[in-house]
A = this chain, B = another copy of it.
Amino acid sequence: MRIVYADNAATTSVSRTALEAMLPYFTEHYGNPSTIYSVGREARRALDTAREKVAKALGTEAKEIYFTGGGTEADNWAIRGTAELRQKKGKHIITTAIEHHAVLHTCKDLEKHGYEVTYLPVDEYGRVTADQLRGAIREDTILVSIMAANNEIGTILPIKELCAIAHEKGVLFHTDAVQAVGHIPLDVKELDVDMLSVSAHKFRGPKGIGALYVRRGLSLPPLLTGGGQESGRRSGTENVAGACGMAAALEESVEHMDENVKKVSAMRDRLIEGLLKIPYSRLTGDPVNRLPGTASFVFEFIEGESMILSLDAAGICASSGSACSSGSLDPSHVLTAIGLPHEVAHGSLRLSINECNTEEDIDYILQTLPPIIQRLRDMSPLWEDYIKKFKA
């Protein structure tokens, strides 16, 4: 069966370049980078090079990049570390209502430990404004953590501007850039953020490796203590192969960013244009400032998981923020935060494409989805009621 993978915001396939960059570090240069003999030196060199590549792609220097076990660890480290570092100054944190759970649940956990968290509401497009942030900062605010781009609706947030406001008030700024890195141009020095989270598997690197950019001079305490790797900041034998794969994938993404953005956003726009022809459909997220690969919708009168299953039967891999697909009773916090009523949010669909997708994939989706939606609506008592109301 034809498989059209359109869930690249969930994870991506590892690129050939990334895989090839990893392979030598499993069986050949398998040494521990902390050792001084030949086999270890090879590993150390590879790790150093990987760090330089990641740093370069983010517009900074190697000594500000720390490898982690993924985006979640990077987010946890940034937030928990700052909380510990600055607890004398205060215990107030500001974030948004649409962060990834790696940020949100970490903030919730800190609330149990005496921290106070402000979750900035967002508008219908998932945006927060400078004024909102300015108004929320207090004397005891120690951290602002706002994502660079949202994973469900693709909205890109104005990090540079928001960061400037935090800094005006002397507050540290972290951004979860997991969905942005490798997909849109991004320079930590230009953004001026203090910390930035990265996850390799979102840009065709392997799973289980990420990084945290920590601005020089910020003495973020470690989350994982032990052997003192990563300059004492993140202990644990370094995932050399992972770091090499991540660096290669990121380098490749940045190198081809212009052409990828052009190609991918054109495909995304075709998806959006084509699928908005379906009646009672809406785009979610910012119509202009959005990730090149994210086409996200709600389709009224049907439930998301049944759409995903039907698409799967046709070989299309996509995701939904409906309650059922998350295993809870509520639809995604992001969809409710942008003001969608629950019954509408349940009908959400996210198609996230990247440079591996083709125009034929888009054609196939455009031709496959409408009849699925029709079929599910035909099965839906809500649709029946709605139609009858109009006939009456």
Closest 6 CB pairs of A and B: A208-B239, A69-B69, A102-B226, A72-B236, A14-B26, A37-B312
A sample of 15 more A-B contacts (CB under 8 A), given A14-B26, A207-B237, A207-B238, is: A7-B40, A10-B34, A13-B26, A16-B27, A37-B318, A40-B317, A70-B237, A76-B223, A105-B235, A199-B237, A201-B237, A206-B239, A206-B241, A208-B208, A208-B241
Q: Which residues of B contact A227 (CB under 8 A)?
A: 72, 100-102
A19 at interface, CB cutoff 8 A: yes
A 184-230 contacts with B by CB, 8 A: 199, 201, 206-209, 223-228
A39 at interface, CB cutoff 8 A: yes
A30 at interface, CB cutoff 8 A: yes
User: Please, how many angstroms separate the alpha-carbon atoms of A23 and B101 in the complex?
Assistant: 29
A 77-126 contacts with B by CB, 8 A: 100-103, 105-106, 108-109
Provided the pairs A30-B13, A69-B236 are in contact, do residues A317 and B35 lie with their beta carbons within 8 angstroms?
yes
Check B13 against A72 for contact (C-beta < 8 Å): no
Check A109 against B225 for contact (C-beta < 8 Å): yes
In this complex, the interface size class of chain A, counting residues with CB under 8 Å from chain B, is 35 or more
| Distance from A96 Cβ to chain B, minimum over Cβ atoms (Å) | 16
Mind listing 23 A-B residue pairs with CB under 8 Å?
A3-B39, A10-B32, A10-B40, A11-B30, A12-B30, A36-B309, A37-B308, A69-B70, A69-B73, A69-B208, A70-B237, A72-B225, A76-B223, A76-B224, A76-B225, A102-B226, A102-B236, A103-B226, A106-B225, A106-B226, A199-B237, A207-B241, A208-B209
Provided the pairs A38-B317, A242-B207, A312-B38 are in contact, do residues A226 and B100 lie with their beta carbons within 8 angstroms?
yes
| Distance from A328 Cβ to chain B, minimum over Cβ atoms (Å) | 10
Check A31 against B70 for contact (C-beta < 8 Å): no
User: Please, how many angstroms separate the alpha-carbon atoms of A154 and B48 in the complex?
Assistant: 31
Q: Which residues of B contact A73 (CB under 8 A)?
A: 69, 224, 236
Provided the pairs A69-B73, A239-B207 are in contact, do residues A226 and B317 lie with their beta carbons within 8 angstroms?
no
Q: Which residues of B contact A101 (CB under 8 A)?
A: 225-228, 235
Check B37 against A14 for contact (C-beta < 8 Å): no
A146 at interface, CB cutoff 8 A: no
Provided the pairs A39-B5, A207-B239, A235-B101 are in contact, do residues A317 and B31 lie with their beta carbons within 8 angstroms?
yes
A334 at interface, CB cutoff 8 A: no
A75 at interface, CB cutoff 8 A: yes
Task: Give A43's nearest chain B residue, CB to CB.
Answer: B11
Q: Which residues of B contact A318 (CB under 8 A)?
A: 37
Task: Give A34's nearest chain B residue, CB to CB.
Answer: B10
Provided the pairs A13-B26, A317-B31 are in contact, do residues A102 and B207 lie with their beta carbons within 8 angstroms?
no
A71 at interface, CB cutoff 8 A: yes
